[in-house]
Amino acid sequence: MNRPYVFKHFDYVANGRPGTAGTGNAGWNYPLIRYAEVLSIFAEAQNEVLGGPDVDAYAALNAIRDRAELSQLSGLSQAQFREAVWRERWHELCYEGITWFDMVRLRKAYIDTEDTFADFVGATLSTAVTLQEKHLLLPLPAQDYRNNTNLRPDNPGW
């Protein structure tokens, strides 16, 4: 096939197909972390600790870009490199259940139509959902409320 395949971890039995309902029974092992994520974590950390990217940070990020047959990055400031790492993570890990947690951690949302980052609160996703402060925390599970009434009130906004 020789092109990216974004449904490599999609469980058709559990989630269904067009015209066929899913069973809800997941039978696949789901990768928790990939080498590209490890490289991007390293590159981001190097950039922050050293006050800018070094040779090792560029090597880590460019290894991800090389596999995707993208051009090498060089000569970026600390802020430019930081955003380059974020952008690479958004593109490389977009279907792997990681993006939401990056958005919460960074308090930034990637606006793909503009190739820019916006503040998390107030950003509108491609699903037409406008993110609010409450989305930075999940609501407490209803079962936990039933078991312990002292958990009230819920997280703000929920």
φ/ψ of 30, rounded to 5, equals -110, 125
Query: Position of tokens 């989630």?
Result: 15
The structural domains of the chain, ordered by start, are 12-120 (1.25.40.900), 121-158 (no CATH)
The percentage of residues in the chain with a pLDDT greater than 70, rounded to a whole number, is 92
* Average pLDDT in the chain: 90
Using the predicted structure, report yes or no on whether residue 15 has a pLDDT greater than 70: yes
Query: What average pLDDT does the segment 42-54 reach?
Result: 97
φ/ψ of 118, rounded to 5, equals -125, 160
- pLDDT confidence of residue 6: 65
Query: Position of tokens 């696949």?
Result: 28
d(CA 158, CA 152): 11
Of 22 and 58, more confident:
58
Whether the CB-CB separation of 111 and 117 falls below 8 Å is answered with yes
